[in-house]
Amino acid sequence: MNTNLLNIVQQIIDQYGEGVLAEPRRVSALFGDLARDIPAPQRNAFARSLEYKFVEMLKNVSEADRSACKQELAKRLNEQEGLDLNLCRNTVELLATVLFGPQETAAQEESSPAQAAYDRAYALFYDTEEDEQALAELAKAIGLDPDFEEAHRLRGTIHQIIGRHDLAVADFTQAIRIEPYLFTFAERGTSRMMCDDWDGALKDLNEAIRLNQDSPYHRHTYNYRGKVYCEMGQWDMAISDFNSAIKLDPENYLHYFFRGHAYKEAGLRNLAIQDFNKVLSFDLADDDEDAAQCAQYAKELLQELQ
């Protein structure tokens, strides 16, 4: 569990009361600079756990049933969001610690060498962002257990984040061979995009959506697939996917930016202008390089259209 994140959440509760946990958007806003140094996957996992009302679910079970409830909630977060299962477990444990205080856990069997190497890699990546050391531990885990799906998936994620997309595709492919999660298809599709394999990316993203059409994770998948359709010049299909992404995640400025681009290329000038103005209506932080760059592009495209 990330103790820094726990401390930040506790600060928010101390100031605003435990009831604030029923307002996930407010909690996300309150994170602000406090959680800037927390890795994004951990921040996102915590935010999603609030949106799924895990606080209410944990409170409504007896102490005797709490352990089973935590396992079920971690599994749900993993399946719905495609997040690393250990990250999901830690997120639920963090919530339980906030609500009930540190819990004593029964002694567990000693981890296998492969699991121990994976756990070290997990901590190196998520807690200290030591990517190369994490990769070394994952290589040990996979050497000991070649069918360790989570290890292949985490290694693919690290390769993807540091820009080694060919290696990411290879690891996601191994993870899919072992267990075909929608998240893994979506992320392999994303790395295939970065390798300019547009047909392969489209195939993977289609499969991710087919596996569970109702998953909230598809706010990402539709955005990715919309970009693929843009590269293919299929503007109507791209616009449809960005519409779906916006329906699932209406507060994400990037969906509007990419839809505005698709509208522009499709010759729908007025709709493009509306979307670029929508991008600029968001309170984009000046010190967020990606957000600032997106806002600048939106301004330039507006000037071009007007």
Q: Mean pLDDT, the chain, as a whole number? A: 85
- Rounded Cα distance between 26 and 139, Å, is 40
- Rounded Cα distance between 264 and 243, Å, is 15
Instruction: List phi, psi (to 5°) of 99.
Output: -80, -40
Q: Give the tokens for residue 108.
A: 């567990």
Amino acid at 246: I
138-146: average pLDDT: 96
204-223: average pLDDT: 87
214-236: average pLDDT: 91
- Please state the domain extents for the chain: 3-100, 114-215, 232-306
Same fold: 114-215 with 232-306 = yes
Most confident among 17-31, 91-105, 114-128, 291-305 (mean pLDDT): 291-305
Confidence category of residue 42, pLDDT binned at 50, 70, 90:
confident
Q: Which pLDDT score is estimated for 190? A: 94
Confidence category of residue 108, pLDDT binned at 50, 70, 90:
very low
Task: Please tell us whether the domain made up of 232-306 is placed in CATH 1.25.40.10.
Answer: yes
Q: Which pLDDT score is estimated for 299? A: 94
Say yes or no to pLDDT of 223 above 80.
Answer: yes
282-299: average pLDDT: 81
Share of the chain above pLDDT 70, in %: 88
SS (H, E, C) the chain: CCHHHHHHHHHHHHHHCHHHHHCHHHHHHHHHHHHCCCCHHHHHHHHHHHHCCHHHHHHCCCHHHHHHHHHHHHHHHHHHHCCCHHHHHHHHHHHHHHHHCCCCCCCCCCCCHHHHHHHHHHHHHHCCCCHHHHHHHHHHHHHHCCCCHHHHHHHHHHHHHCCCHHHHHHHHHHHHHHCCCHHHHHHHHHHHHHCCCHHHHHHHHHHHHHHCCCCCCHHHHHHHHHHHHHHCCCHHHHHHHHHHHHHHCCCCHHHHHHHHHHHHHCCCHHHHHHHHHHHHHCCCCCCCHHHHHHHHHHHHHHHHHC
- Rounded Cα distance between 96 and 82, Å, is 21
Q: Which pLDDT score is estimated for 232? A: 96
Confidence category of residue 60, pLDDT binned at 50, 70, 90:
confident
Q: Give the tokens for residue 105.
A: 């856990």
Task: Note the pTM of the prediction, 2 decimals.
Answer: 0.72
Say yes or no to pLDDT of 169 above 90.
Answer: yes
- Rounded Cα distance between 242 and 17, Å, is 37
95-108: average pLDDT: 65
Tens-place pLDDT, residues 236-246: 999 999 999 99
Most confident among 24-38, 182-196, 287-301 (mean pLDDT): 182-196
57-71, 77-91, 268-282: lowest mean pLDDT where?
Answer: 77-91
50-75: average pLDDT: 81
214-223: average pLDDT: 84
Tens-place pLDDT, residues 121-137: 988 887 778 999 999 99
* Cβ neighbours of residue 117 closer than 8 Å, sequence gap 6 or more: 137, 138, 140, 141, 144, 151
Q: Which pLDDT score is estimated for 8? A: 74
Identify whether the C-beta of residue 269 lies closer than 8 Å to the C-beta of residue 243: no
42-64: average pLDDT: 79
Share of the chain above pLDDT 90, in %: 48
* Cβ neighbours, 10 Å, residue 124: 20
Q: Give the tokens for residue 130.
A: 């030591």
245-249: average pLDDT: 91
Domain 114-215 class, CATH top level = mainly alpha
- Rounded Cα distance between 47 and 252, Å, is 14
Among the listed residues 189, 250, 193, 192, the one whose alpha carbon sits nearest the alpha carbon of residue 216? 250
C-alpha dihedral (142, 148, 149, 150), degrees to nearest 10: -80
Q: What is the three-class DSSP state of 262?
A: helix
Q: Which pLDDT score is estimated for 29? A: 64
